[in-house]
Chain A
Amino acid sequence: MADGMISARIFEDLQTKIDEDADVRDQIKVILQTLERQGRNAQSILSRAHSTPVAHLQPVIASAEGAIKDEVESIGKLAGVASNSPYYKYNNLWTREVQNVVFAVLLCGWLGGMAMPNKPAEPGKLLTIEEVGEILNVPVNLKDRDAFHLTIEEYLQSLITLIEELARLAVNSVTLGDYQRPLQISQFVKDLHAGFQILNLKNDSLRRRSDSIKYNVKKIEDIVYDLSLRNLVPKST
């Protein structure tokens, strides 16, 4: 035929690239399946915090830390495969599961888990993006190298999920007879809200989700109001 126009290699190479890319995507998806399962496990353990008084929370935290450790192992495998390709070529595939892991780590840390060398665990604490990176054993906000890492956007998205979770926890704390925690949550969430307000967000999913923070702030304020109305607010903090 007219093989003078098109060097045979051109379309062979295109096909090879298509097939190689498909291979990488398949490898990633296999790891993500495991990570998703492990994520659901960690979530189900952590959700027990809504029905467990603070005094008995330690076993739940320990169990959650174990589940998170499994997730960290999967993240390691993911990082290994992902780092062989440009980070932003495939990151859409894993970002949702990564955010779930970060959320689990943040929640566990807030409940009083995830102690690290030189950083004692205490309830009500926010783990920084660097600390989360250490726990997951991945770099954060990588700029000078092209490798798997945790992005600022992923951390922020997970923070929003944490806020939603804490709003729910505030409600359930009152049910469990804990009138101190809602106050702690209220101040914590307000401080985060103030932080989000100084970001210049564009019209993306981060912006849309962060719009919901103020509703959670109000929800928690209402709980604190309900408590103070009934004189249930502990006098000393």
Chain B
Amino acid sequence: MVGVKRQHDGAEKENEVKASRFMPMFEQFRDELDQHHDRRERIIKASRDITAASKKIIFSLQRVRTLNAEIPEKIAKETRDRAGAMQRQFFAIAPDLEGINAWRYQRQISGGIQEYMEAISFEHYLRTQTLITMEEASKSLPDTIDLTSDDYALGIFDLVGELMRFAITTIATTGALPGSTAEPGGRDVLIDLRSLRTSFQALDTTSCGGTGLGKDVEKKMEVMKTCVEKVETAVYGLIIRGRERPKGWVPDLADDRGAPVESY
């Protein structure tokens, strides 16, 4: 049998943990912190699932070859199903993100939201050849989930990478750039990419102080520049050498996979 703990003068010591006068206070703190951590875990998990679903949607949409037209039904059905599952995810965690908690867990949900932004803005562009506004994007999310301007903008940054891929794949498989300047006021993907790039260049993020949109802004602009140049090079190749290449020839896109645009 273990001996009894004693004080320095020989008196018995009570079990320290039980006797702590602050225990009720800490028990309350423990419950609060546990709730917070559980919420955080749920949101991290949902963000991961939303990211995965969004990536799959983008992957499906990359099979579209037209611009300014409804998405072909086969692809649309796939994306609808995935989008439906994603909406259920959003609704499931909406209570955890209510009120003061919306910004509390912003960092945890941000990844999922940005990937979601990439997916819906890509889908919107394919159908309408325009950039989805923040209001439109916000509306597609449940009421209690906030779309921050940072997540909106960062999602659009990533959209540029997808547009590049879309442009190059379409050139390779159809021998033409998506969109056309044939009619007055017509635009092709390259023109649209260039507008996106100049719009972002014009944004002054120096006051962000290295956070949010201002973070890594030089690197992001460099990536955007590279995306535009890849499309310009592909168009050049089309014009110079297009006639020599059999239709359906696909260029080696292996080095595109490593584009840092994906890493958010």
Give me the interface of A with B, judged by CB distance under 8 Å: 1-7, 9-11, 13-15, 17-19, 21-22, 25, 86-89, 126, 128-129, 141-146, 152-153, 156, 190-192, 194-202, 224-225, 228, 233, 235
Contact = CB atoms under 8 A, between A and B. Distances in A.
A201 B203 contact: no
Interface in B90-127: 99-104, 106
B30 to A, nearest CB: 5
Given A2-B195, A191-B19, 6 more contacts: A14-B213, A88-B103, A89-B106, A128-B25, A145-B99, A233-B9
Nearest to A6: B131
A232 to B, nearest CB: 11
Interface string B33-58: 11001000000000000000000000
A191 B21 contact: yes
B133 interface: yes
B2 interface: no
Given A194-B17, A200-B33, A18 B208 contact: yes
A5 B179 CA distance: 12
Contact of B149 (A14, A152, A235): A14
A86 B103 contact: yes
Contacts of A9: 133
A134 to B, nearest CB: 16
A196 B194 CA distance: 56
Given A194-B17, A200-B34, A10 B100 contact: no
Q: How large is the interface on B (under 10, 10 to 19, 20 to 34, 35 or more residues)?
A: 35 or more
B3 interface: no
Determine chain B's interface SS by DSSP, over half rule: helix
Nearest to A196: B26
**Which interface residue of B34, B100, B102 has the most chain A CB atoms within 10 A?**
B100
Given A198-B26, A200-B33, A2 B194 contact: yes
Contacts of A235: 9
Contact of A195 (B25, B153, B191, B192): B25
13 contacts: A2-B195, A4-B187, A5-B129, A7-B133, A14-B152, A15-B204, A25-B209, A87-B103, A156-B29, A191-B21, A194-B20, A194-B23, A197-B17
**Which interface residue of A4, A5, A145, A235 has the most chain B CB atoms within 10 A?**
A5
A14 B8 contact: no
Determine chain A's interface SS by DSSP, over half rule: helix
Given A2-B191, A18-B207, A152 B103 contact: no
Contacts of A6: 130-131, 195-196, 199
Contacts of B214: 18
Given A5-B195, A200-B30, A195 B22 contact: yes
Nearest to A233: B8
Contacts of A196: 26
B22 A4 contact: no
Interface string B164-188: 0000000000000000000001010
A10 B159 CA distance: 15
A194 B208 CA distance: 42
Contacts of B32: 141, 152
A89 B26 CA distance: 27
B4 interface: no
**Which interface residue of A86, A89, A145, A233 has the most chain B CB atoms within 10 A?**
A86
A193 to B, nearest CB: 8
Contacts of B196: 5-6
Nearest to A235: B9
Contact of A5 (B187, B204, B212): B187
Contacts of B99: 143-146
